[in-house]
Amino acid sequence: MCGFIGYIDTKKSINKIEKALNLILHRGPDSKRVIYDDDTSFLLGFCRLSIQDTSEDAMQPLMDNENKIIIMFNGEIYNFIALREKLISANYKFKTRSDTEVLLNGYKEWGLEKLLTKIDGMFSFVIIDKKIQKVLMVRDHFGIKPLYFSENNGLKFSSEIKSITYLSETMHWNREGAISSLFTGMAQVGSTPYYKVKEVKPGNYLVYD
């Protein structure tokens, strides 16, 4: 289990995102990283539970060699070794043994929709593609790995709601979502106890332009 967070702001807010990341540090207690991307004004934070590749090269956020695509990923891709071999045959060079880099290069080779037909696993991930100026937020079919987002005062996304509410200036209760959570243990699919915080639905991806 790992955790990640991202939002659009100024570089001066690094201290704020570090505090927001600390709220979900239980998801990845092995190490953490916060970066600011000058091209997109995204502040990105990741806390890591090291499993596949424990090297520093595999630490996220992970970028391609051209620094045009950024990925943050939580989960496990069961067939990543086979996909890695296919990508090597297509002349991709790998600097890690991680399934995260397989997702990154797989996206570059096949595009998102075709990539999703090839991977087998449990996952939530976010790709920031600077070439097309889009953010892609993806969740596995069964919703095993969480992914929340808000468009309140700019895009924010995280593995847990508490980071988003911390970063948001104002949040209002979603009465129906709160009641559903109270009695069933979960909100209605796609909603949360907060009006301006949503979840990426299981088996779906969202594109933020």
Task: Please answer whether residues 165 and 153 qualify as being in contact, where contact means their C-beta atoms are separated by less than 8 angstroms.
Answer: no
Could you identify the residue written with the tokens 């060079």? 93
Task: Please answer whether residues 192 and 199 qualify as being in contact, where contact means their C-beta atoms are separated by less than 8 angstroms.
Answer: yes
The percent of residues above 70 in pLDDT, for the chain, comes to 88
Q: Of 2, 71, 135, 147, which is the active-site residue?
A: 2
User: 177-193: per-residue pLDDT in tens?
Assistant: 444 444 444 545 555 66
Q: Which of 55-69, 84-98, 112-126, 192-206 has the lowest mean pLDDT?
A: 192-206
Predicted pLDDT at 168: 84
Q: Nearest 5°: phi and psi at 83?
A: -70, -35
2 a catalytic residue? yes
CA 4 to CA 13: how far, in whole Å?
16
Predicted pLDDT at 128: 98
User: 108-151: per-residue pLDDT in tens?
Assistant: 999 999 999 999 999 999 999 999 999 999 999 999 999 999 99
The set of residues, in sequence order, having a beta carbon less than 8 Å from that of 29 and lying 6+ positions away, is 47, 49
CA 106 to CA 35: how far, in whole Å?
23
| Sign of the CA dihedral running 11, 163, 161, 179 | negative
SS3 180: helix
User: 51-66: per-residue pLDDT in tens?
Assistant: 877 899 999 999 999 9
Predicted pLDDT at 20: 96
SS3 8: strand
